[in-house]
Structure 1
Amino acid sequence: MLRKLVGVALVLALVTQFLVVAPRARADQDSYQRCLATTKPKIVPNGDLGSITLTAAQQCSHHLKESPDEKVNPQNGSGKGPVAPGAPKKKKPTREEIIKENKARKARNAALAKGFEEKTEGFRSCVKRNATDGDTESRRVRSTCGTGPSAPDFEEMTDVPGVPRQGQPDLGLPPETIAYVASTQLQLPKTSVQLGPDPEWNRWDKAFVGHPYWLWIDSSTESMTSKQSVGPITVTLTASLDSVTYRVKGEEPVTCDGPGTPYRRISSNIGKSSPDCGFRFTKAGPRSIEATANWVIQWSVNGQQGSLQMPQTGTRAVEVRELHSVNVDPPG
């Protein structure tokens, strides 16, 4: 009786192998072969080794039945995943390999930072050329200059065995460079040039040669603090408006501390000079007032501190005329 039961069990096992397991294995193998025929090697990032090249066999390994004894991740050769024929075993990098790879990452990050700075300065120059009356977000600016470059995707350095990490993750860049990238994310107030008394208040809609004008900029704040991220690093930034420089072609530039005092339309201010930022036109004609708000950015990165300049420019067009007195004899 026992022999009969064993025989039946053996037959059932053979039938299952023939009808279920074998077809499934053949299907998996066919699917795997089709994948191999249409897949090319590709490079993927790896946290320890920088990047590795995946063969077609590794990328198609998910078509094969998983073996509980040998599990390989198709992305980096470790962890859970089916075994790919010829898949290399993950090798722990040596200290020298880590240092070499970090050096390569540092060079790549430096190139990214340099390219980002060049693109940023180019974008700012484009905005300055195309902004009308200080409107840096006009349709013309957006269509011509775009929205500016995005912060680079820097690579983080791998910790070297025996060398303790100092503060935040390391990008292999000077703190000044990290601070510059972070500062471009600041939303500083627009530089809106104001002139008082406003030429729009008179019947001619003109400014006049020799008249004392007050200059100031509309600024919602003169100081702001924020935290910005550059990859895994957090940068603390404090922006302060130091001064504003006004330039009119053919006239002497004027630099004033702070944003300037707004002109109030009251009788006591008529003909009165500004208490902190006055200006007089000496020539008639169409003029453009360019105001450069000189912002100073104090930064802190991993305990290191410093400052950088971030000028913001705005313009305003003004038509200037000369006033002439005419002597008229009284009647009679």
Structure 2
Amino acid sequence: MASGTGDNGLRVCYSAGVARPVPCVDPEYGWLADDGCYYKPAPDFEPMPVLAAQVEPGVDGSWYAMECLGMSTGSGVIWRRATGIAGLMPPIPAVLAQQARSRLVLPAPRVRSSPVPGVPQLVGLPVWLWVDAASWRPQSTTAAVPGAAVTATAMPVELTWRLGDGSTVVCHGPGTPYPADGVDPATASPSCGHTFTRSSAAEPGQAFRGSVMVTWSVTWAGGGQGGVFPVLTQTTPITFQVAESQAVTLPGPSAGK
């Protein structure tokens, strides 16, 4: 069975008889095996006598929920030998890792700046950029079956600001909040900032329209194993109104007076 990477960074698989790629791991159905069926452990399943006959005494095995696609048919819960299921799906920690990854919910970045959004910035004066600390924290989820648990953790690592004036600023951290007691307006942020060099008066709505994107690294650990997933991103639109300060020259006293 061929596989690749989908737009969301997760693996997709191409199963016989299915016209389009499907998730290799589905949070509801489990892992897609080479036989065109999804499997996931069903350790709490209590079979009726007719199904209990599937169990082979003295043989290592477990119950698995099965959901088949395409050219395969059938669904339900079946018993599989441990040696047989090993060829159909990866070790349980890898299955649980994919399920935990699919459950991650990342907060949208809460954008902050000084001057505050909505207040016109001034050409030539530094703008401080940062995101709220509440949106810059690790996010974790855990998937578990009896005897095994795996946690996927997303860690914010980078901010990419597209300011709308053609500039892009990459900051390796949340940025520095503007001090409550203020600083010299000509002081630049020590970690994340931008200085506009032209007015936004000629832009639609008289504002620069851009975005701020948070990049998250994603790892998993559990069951004595661990690994890394492709990065995730979360984006929020931003606008900045930028004005140009106009100087007014007044006539001075005449020479000799």
User: Within 5 Å, which residues of 2 pair with 1:315-330?
Assistant: 315-330=237-252
Q: Which amino acid aligns with 2:221?
A: S
Q: Which amino acid aligns with 2:115?
A: P
1:252 to 167, 183, 187: 167
Asked whether the 8 Å contact 1:197–1:265 carries over to 2, the reply is no
Q: What TM-score, normalized to structure 2?
A: 0.58
Structure 2 SS opposite 1:179: helix
Structure 1 SS opposite 2:81: coil
- State which drifts further: 289-298 or 177-186: 177-186
How far apart are the structure 2 equivalents of 1:284 and 1:307?
43
User: Within 5 Å, which residues of 2 pair with 1:117-136?
Assistant: none
2:127 to 213, 232, 257: 213
| 1:180 CA drift (Å) | 4.4
Give the count of matched residue pairs. 190
| 1:262 CA drift (Å) | 0.3
Q: Which amino acid aligns with 2:81?
A: V
| 1:179 CA drift (Å) | 3.2
Matching residue of 2:214: 293
| 1:156 CA drift (Å) | 7.4
Alpha-carbon distance change, 219 to 267 in structure 1, aligned in 2, over 3 angstroms:
closer
Q: Which has the larger radius of gyration?
A: 1
How far apart are the structure 2 equivalents of 1:91 and 1:157?
9
1:190 aligns with 2:108: yes
1:55-108 alpha-carbon deviations (Å, 9 max, x no partner): xxxxxxxxxxxxxxxxxxxxx8x54xxxxxxxxx7694599xxx9xx8x94865
How far apart are the structure 2 equivalents of 1:259 and 1:222?
7
Asked whether the 8 Å contact 2:104–2:141 carries over to 1, the reply is no
Alpha-carbon distance change, 269 to 190 in structure 1, aligned in 2, over 3 angstroms:
farther
Structure 2 SS opposite 1:220: helix
How far apart are the structure 2 equivalents of 1:155 and 1:324?
75
| 1:270 CA drift (Å) | 1.7
Q: Which amino acid aligns with 1:300?
A: A
Alpha-carbon distance change, 288 to 326 in structure 1, aligned in 2, over 3 angstroms:
same
| 1:252 CA drift (Å) | 2.3
Structure 2 SS opposite 1:159: strand
| 1:283 CA drift (Å) | 3.4
Runs of 4+ more than 6 Å apart: 154-157, 174-177, 230-233
Q: Which amino acid aligns with 2:243?
A: R
Alpha-carbon distance change, 176 to 229 in structure 1, aligned in 2, over 3 angstroms:
closer
Q: What TM-score, normalized to structure 1?
A: 0.46
Q: Which amino acid aligns with 2:172?
A: D
| 1:256 CA drift (Å) | 0.6
Matching residue of 1:7: none
How far apart are the structure 2 equivalents of 1:328 and 1:220?
50
Amino-acid identity (%):
28
RMSD over aligned Cα atoms: 4.1
More strand by share: 2
